[in-house]
Amino acid sequence: MPAHMIDSLFFRDLFGSAAMRTIFDDMTLLQKWLDVEAAIARGQARAGFIPQAAAAEITRRARAETMNIDAIKAGIDKTVHPLVALIWQLSQHCAGDAGRYVHWGATTQDVMDTAIILQLRDAYSLVTDTLDMLIATLRRLAAAHQHTPIAARTHGQQALPTTFGFKVAVWLAEVYRHQERFVQLRPRLLVGEYAGAVGTLAGLNEGDAVDSLMIQRFVMEELGLGVPPIAWHTSRDHIVEFAHTFNMLVALMGRIAHEIIDLQKREFGEVEEPFEMGKVGSSTMPQKRNPMICESILTLGRLCREKASTALDTLLYNEHERDWSSFQMEWVYLAELFVMGQRAVEMMIGVLDGLIVYPDKMRQNLDLTQGLLLAERVMFALGQHIGRQDAHDVVYECAMHAFNNGTLFLDGLADHARVQPHVSRAALVALLDPVQYTGLAAVFVQRVLDRENP
């Protein structure tokens, strides 16, 4: 029975993406190992290093579904080595003498490193495709509410009016930056490894560097990967870069989820995650409409955050030319990060696509402080007559009096001796209209919407 939430019979679809789970499952990994072994043989055959017939036979036999999984598991348990049992079995499956050419010139980490890159290539495609859907969803939401006024909040308190579309466009702009990062890191990430025991390719073709490099290039071409300029057995920076970039995206999903959770509180009531009859908020309080999807996204964001530390650890501790104590950490953290993080992005797309927005409540909350939200606007208007700093002091005095005594900000301003000669009550009423003080919010939203994908 599964012992991890990403594979749980009950919770796997809450804690993990089904599509990403397939990319990192055992059978996929086994096939990636075999794909690398077959590519090595084909690359060597192209260079005339081994017979073409042998490479064809190795490729034909390199199928995960034909392998004895129990035998591989038993071999790993006996040898405490992840690949030897597979190499033995593949060699034995090959007809004639083709088996003798399996794994020639390679070291285990060559195969496993390159298999990880093949998995991450699939993960990359899934992530970037999902990113396109996220961008489209955010664009629709930002455009729909480009002019919808809402109270902006700083330090948890109402600050000034803005628009809900502006809030969404800030998220969208960040997603676009992540998209740029993914595009830029792709060529650094998708580089294979075929370097031999300590990275020098000494065992492949001693004394003939040109042929060795040709074979290395052919192997990478067979896999559709870049050729490494030098071995990267202990240099995991490109993997960490992808993991961290993805983790930043997942962190944003958590931040958006947290924002929706806050704005869904009855005291705000400005937005609500998708709801339909049958969704239950509590087993004992029938009235509850809890933001449980957003809470799950936030949970995933928090769980993924620790993977950033693990990823960095693989850079910090990686001794000499090989250190499996670091390398093996990738077997754990990469699957967990991408399976959980991808689910967070998928769920957020659903939340944003079906987000319930309450413009009337947003408008109502703009009036909650009875004009205090527009103190800056009054200060600037008055400052044109008495100077900015003096105006700040006057407006501050009126604002604190209204706040402490429960009186109207408008009345305090209109009755103040330093305001009366310069700004009429009617002008103050106009200045305290929050809908008229969203600045360039809509313009900035349009800037983001006008952006072209990288």
Q: Which residues are catalytic?
A: 155, 282
CA dihedral 44, 49, 54, 56 (to 10 degrees): 40
First to last CA, the chain: 44
Farthest CA pair distance, the chain: 104
User: In the structure encoding, which two tokens stand for residue 12, read together?
Assistant: 């796997």
Q: DSSP letters along 308-342, please? A: HHHHHHHHHS--TT--HHHHHHHHHHHHHHHHHHH
Taking the C-alpha atoms of residue 250 and residue 240, their distance in angstroms, rounded to an integer, is: 15
For 31-148, strand residue ranges (E) read none
User: In the structure encoding, which two tokens stand for residue 251, read together?
Assistant: 């962190």
Q: Identify the helix (H) or strand (E) that includes residue 158.
A: strand 157-163
Taking the C-alpha atoms of residue 189 and residue 224, their distance in angstroms, rounded to an integer, is: 12
Of the candidates 385, 376, 374, the one whose C-alpha atom is nearest the C-alpha of residue 420 is 385
Residues 6+ apart with CB under 8 A from 275: 289, 356
In the Cβ-directed half-sphere of 378, how many Cα atoms lie within 13 Å?
33
Taking the C-alpha atoms of residue 157 and residue 417, their distance in angstroms, rounded to an integer, is: 29
Taking the C-alpha atoms of residue 346 and residue 180, their distance in angstroms, rounded to an integer, is: 20
Taking the C-alpha atoms of residue 181 and residue 184, their distance in angstroms, rounded to an integer, is: 5
Place of tokens 């664009």: 139
CB 249 within 8 A of CB 332: no
Place of tokens 């990113």: 131
Taking the C-alpha atoms of residue 74 and residue 76, their distance in angstroms, rounded to an integer, is: 5
**Number of other residues whose CB lies within 10 A of the CB of residue 127:** 22
